[in-house]
Amino acid sequence: MRALVVDPGVPGSLRLGTAAEPRPAPDQLVLDVRHISLNRGEVAFAGQRPAGTVHGYDAAGVVVRAATDGSGPPVGARVAAFGAGAWAQRMAVDTTAVAEVPARVALSDAAALPMAGVTALRTLRSRSVLGRRVLITGAAGGVGRYAVQLAALGGAHVIASVGSAARAEGLAELGAHEVVVGLDGIDRPVDLVLDSVGGAQLVAAWELLAPGGDVRNIGWASGEPAVFAPYSLFSVGPSRTMSTVGDIDAFGPDLATLLEFVAAGKLSPEVDWRGSWERVADAAQALLDRRIAGKAVLDVEPAASD
């Protein structure tokens, strides 16, 4: 079958090639993949994986072989999926990592949700955000744009931080109460920070954190170290915390929640770039250059109807 495979010798380290058909375990189904989505981190670090590896985690398509243990959706079901080796014509995926796509939701939109959407959902759900001040850095990206919407749905006062004024477009419409460049203009403490930038901005965000607040690190797009001054992590009063978010277990139920939000018109998939997987180099470079606001979705050829 055709697949997007790692090739460190080409620009972007990804190319269309061939791979063996998937061999599912008893608790895995086989998906005829119709659409895939790219995440910036996957693209940035593709060259670090072994040559020939089928890359990617996000896909949507139609079940062509149900799991032999009887779990999961039947043949013919439209599903979104999260699992290794997703960027291929067919993938084997755990039945706990898929969700059926409502009829009102296009498969191309569903493909945009798994990694970025579930990351945003799980990060925000770890504590109540109702009435809280929530700062989301890197808010123009895939995770960021979902986090803005979900935090607003949860009743938070949402502060969206972007790298430039041009990246601010559309965030107020998604639910951000304030949109700032960097951290300029934030003059009151915040209760929760979803940080995908790292570096000096993470240090500055920590200084904005209210007593009892949390910083959740979900990325490090700056590529720069975060240097904290002596004793800057200490404060009198309720403990402030900093932690990472990287749980990728059993995506299915959370993915189903996101799909229902999309079907109800409560969550926008935020697909800003769409094209054939033959154009993977174009999409990957646009992501790396931060020319995409939200998600990039590729159609697996030959094109098929949703």
- DSSP string of 205-232? HHHTEEEEEEEEE---TT-----PPTTT
Report the run of H or E that residue 193 belongs to, with start and end: strand 190-195
Give the pLDDT confidence score for residue 283 in this predicted structure. 94
Tens-digit pLDDT string for the chain (306 aa): 999 999 998 888 999 999 999 999 999 999 999 999 999 989 999 988 999 999 999 999 999 999 999 999 999 999 999 999 999 999 999 999 999 999 999 999 999 999 999 999 999 987 889 999 999 999 999 999 999 999 999 999 999 999 999 999 999 999 999 999 999 999 999 999 999 999 999 999 999 999 999 999 998 989 899 999 999 998 888 999 999 887 888 999 999 999 999 999 999 999 999 999 999 999 999 999 999 999 999 999 755 556
Give the pLDDT confidence score for residue 305 in this predicted structure. 54
d(CA 137, CA 143): 10
d(CA 3, CA 61): 15
Rg (CA), the chain: 20
Can you give the pTM of this predicted structure?
Answer: 0.93
Contact 117, 146 (CB under 8 A): yes
Structure tokens at 84: 């290794």
Distances (CA, A) of 194 to 7, 30, 137, 178: 33, 34, 6, 15
Give the pLDDT confidence score for residue 306 in this predicted structure. 64
Question: Which domains occur in the chain, in start order?
Answer: 2-116+248-299 (3.90.180.10), 127-244 (3.40.50.720)
Give the pLDDT confidence score for residue 7 in this predicted structure. 94
Distances (CA, A) of 162 to 138, 169, 172, 213, 269: 5, 10, 12, 21, 19
Give the pLDDT confidence score for residue 249 in this predicted structure. 86
